[in-house]
Amino acid sequence: MNRILPAWLVSLLSIGPICFSLPLNANSTHLVSASPQLTPPVTMSESATPPNTLHFTLQHRINGGNPLPQEQIEIPIDKITQQPWVLLEAIKQNFSTHLEKQPKPVQLNTEIEWLLSKKVTQVLGALPKLSIQTRLDNNGTGASQLVIPADKRKITKADKSDQANFDWKGLNGLLTFTNQFEAINSQFDFGGLKVTTNQGFSLLWDATTFQGLFDANLRPSQLDLKLPLLKAQQDDNNHALLETLVFQFNSEKTQHGLELGNLKLNIGHLGFTDKGSQFNLDKLQLTTDTQDQGNIVNYGVHTQIGNLSVPNIFINKNLGMSYLSNLAFRRLDAEALLAIQKTARDMKGQNNSTVIGIALFGKLMEVAPKLLAQSPEIALTQFLVKTSQGNIEGNLNLRIDGNKATSLEPEVLIPALQGQSEFTLGKGLLEQLFMNNWLTHLREEFKNSSKDKKISEPVLADLKKQARTKTEQQIQKYLKQKWLVETKEENYQFVAQLQDGKLIVNGQEQPLPLAPDKH
């Protein structure tokens, strides 16, 4: 059953992205059927089935006429993974080929059927077809209605050792578009999915809504996703839960043609449990704010977490904390950003990440003088972590003097840096962080050097003692070198200033990494 389940989910979930660019009907209603009529499945021989390839057929009817011959599309899965829009583009091109030949107004009815290998078909049966009804008016403006009907089925493992029950609640949507698909407005309602097996696995995906506005190249200018609940559980010690996810995005073009986007991400709860180890996140709020000021752009990121609970391996229990930060990138040159953005778009069809990285780095070096001339600045105006072991609170500001910096070469850049920073760190929290880091390192060393990979209690106790000793030595070293100073409030303090190529930390000059040789 472990192999059957991923195959079914991949087949179903591969349908989702298609919806984001397909033509839909303006008079859409909820057409999810409780008991769809499934035609006998189309199958392919194993020898004719290239591995890791998505296959599907399209069959159209124009103005209610006879069905046109089926057309088959094959797309490697790795291409879809690297460029999700390649699937959407293939279907959009297919539709455009048929619609541009027809006098307007015109109606196009389409059925998309997923081609599965014989082995998979014997297990899954036929997947629900995707039905699309498209109408274009005299001006070429159109709308479409999309439906994947609801479906319930049971799948039994070949040896009868397990059985899975699938309850697909269906999907329908509305999409409107201008002539030649110059703008595509989409809205989709996914009814949900429930999967259970006799061996205890369960998956629950609640009703989800998606809205999006795309241009002719399928670049989104507006996105709105709402997912109330997604839950997967193998047993009491292995489960994952996501509650109340809301994602919103919008972008606009500046007078220079630069696309600037803002997003909001809210998560009510995200939790994982794996063999007793737990991770929990509550009340995440992530917001970005982009400001266009003509020749320069300012960009801000606000992050807040109500509670974050992560494993603390040293004390063998979770460490709970809250988090708040405000990060700003100021005085970024608009023309330089546009040049980098254009390079990124030009590399859209490139699959080699190394080639992409080299191209972007080359463009960054080329436009560096423009970026530096504006005296760009990064500012962490607020940073606060609260825990039961102590807090970390502080701020940081780092600026490049555009009158001194002309390139990103260290010998030119470092003397042009100006900055200040002040942080207060709770003693208990900092010690716990160091001890966790040392214990993780020591455990890895032990596993790599010992034939017995399992760490006994006496060995773990000794490793913890070593971690505590190393932590004390590390903190004493930082205190001696003035990287940290003690305060009366059970805190350590870090105060730094950077000016004219000199770094002063807690009143003492410290060597700068990559600083030019003064001799």
- The DSSP-derived string for 284-333 is EEEEEEEEEETTEEEEEEEEEEEEEEEEETTTTEEEEEEEEEEEEEEEEE
pLDDT at residue 278 tops 60? yes
For 496-510, letters b (16+ CB in 10 Å) and e give bebeeeebebbeeee
pLDDT of residue 313: 65
CA-to-CA distance for 279 and 389, rounded, in angstroms?
Answer: 18
Q: What is the pLDDT of residue 514?
A: 62
Identify which of 439, 444, 401, 395 has the alpha carbon closest to the alpha carbon of residue 420: 395
Binned at pLDDT 50, 70 and 90, residue 156 comes out as confident
Tokens for 69?
A: 């011959």
**Chain segment 319-340, per-residue pLDDT in tens:** 889 999 999 999 999 999 999 9
**Which percentage of the chain shows pLDDT scores above 70?**
87
Using a 10 angstrom Cβ sphere, with 0-12 exposed, 13-18 middle and 19 or more buried, the burial of residue 13 is exposed
Over residues 385-431, the pLDDT tens digits come to 999 889 999 999 999 999 999 888 888 898 999 999 999 999 999 99
CA distance 337 to 258: 7
* pLDDT higher at 14 or 177: 177
Record the tokens describing residue 194, joined without a space: 């429930």
* Mean pLDDT comparison of 49-53, 84-88, 89-93, 358-362, highest-scoring range: 358-362
Task: Tell me the pLDDT band of 318, cut-offs 50, 70 and 90.
Answer: confident
pLDDT tops 60 at residue 25: no
Comparing 282 with 41, which gets the higher pLDDT? 282
| Average pLDDT, integer, range 259-271 | 96
pLDDT at residue 33 in the model: 30
324 phi/psi in degrees, rounded to 5? -145, 130
Q: Which residue has the higher pLDDT, 474 or 27?
A: 474
At residue 27, does pLDDT exceed 60? Answer: no
516 pLDDT band, cuts 50/70/90, is low
User: Helix, strand, or coil here: 509?
Assistant: strand
- What's residue 68's pLDDT? 94
Place of tokens 């697909």: 168
- What is the rounded radius of gyration, in angstroms, for the C-alpha atoms of the chain? 29
* 47-67 pLDDT per residue, tens: 445 567 888 999 999 999 999
Summary mean pLDDT of the chain? 85
Residue 386's SS3 state is: strand
Give me the pLDDT at residue 352, please.
80
Q: Is the pLDDT of residue 242 over 90?
A: yes
- Kindly report the pTM of this predicted structure: 0.82
Per domain, the residue ranges of the chain are 51-158+170-194, 426-497
- HEC string of 433-499 equals HHHHHHHHHHHHHHHHHCCCCCCCHHHHHHHHHHHHHHHHHHHHHHHHCCCCEECCCCEEEEEEEEE
